[in-house]
Amino acid sequence: MSHKCRKGATMSTTISVRTDEETKRQAEELFNELGLNMSTAINMFMKQALRERRIPFTVGRPYPNATTIAAIEEGRRLAQDPNTPRITSIEEFKTLIDDL
């Protein structure tokens, strides 16, 4: 919904954003601590994105990735397996590495 502002000023519009209640609550709490309201914080994000012509933060895959998660799960499984050889000294470790 747009409406006219005073003469010479830019027009204002409303944006509706969907998010879960907890994210909204935490964001409002953070922004309040920073002296901002939700509208100001969202406007800051949009203006920064336009200024930089990019999302103003790194967007990436969650860490750890699927390969790392699989390795962690395998390590946990091996740690629980009584048949997994145990290394109890640095000498045993060096021998194991040398045999690879």
Q: Is 93 in a helix, a strand, or coil?
A: helix
The backbone torsions φ and ψ at residue 3, rounded to the nearest 5 degrees and listed phi first, read: -150, 155
Domain ranges of the chain: 2-52, 66-98
pLDDT digits (tens, 9 = 90+) for 57-88: 887 877 788 899 999 999 999 999 999 888 89
1 pLDDT more than 80: no
Write the DSSP string, 8-72: TSPPEE-------HHHHHHHHHHHHHTT--HHHHHHHHHHHHHHHTS-SS-----SS-HHHHHHH
Please tell me the predicted confidence (pLDDT) of residue 6.
Answer: 63
| Residue 75 C-beta-side C-alpha neighbours within 13 Å | 6
Is the pTM for the entire model greater than 0.85? Answer: no
**Average pLDDT of span 52-60:** 90
Supply 75's token pair.
């390590």
pLDDT at 3 over 60: no
Share of the chain above pLDDT 70, in %: 91
